[in-house]
Amino acid sequence: MERKLIPSATVRDLCGGISDMSLWRWLNDPELNFPRPIYIARRRYWREAEVLAWIDAREVAA
């Protein structure tokens, strides 16, 4: 699962159905430390394991 790449639409769904603008804000907020995307053919993909770990860390901190 560590190698599975997911597109931005899936990332937004995993994060509670956020908008693309919210995802952009999270990426540009250094305090949130949101995982950085990988660009393939000008499209953004994330490692699923990194996004899930980030979500889990946020739930523990809350």
pLDDT band at 1 (very low <50, low <70, confident <90, very high): low
Helices of type H across the chain:
8-14, 20-27, 48-61
Q: Whole domain around residue 54: which residue ranges?
A: 5-61
Top-confidence residue, 42 or 59: 42
Structural domain count of the chain: 1
pTM: 0.88
What would the two tokens of residue 62 be?
A: 């809350």
Query: What's the confidence (pLDDT) of residue 3?
Result: 86
Distances (CA, A) of 2 to 6, 17, 30, 31, 32: 11, 22, 23, 24, 21
Q: What is the mean pLDDT of residues 41-59?
A: 95
User: Distance between alpha carbon 7 and the CA centroid of its chain, in Å?
Assistant: 9
pLDDT single digits (tens) 4-48: 999 999 999 999 999 999 999 999 999 999 999 999 999 999 999
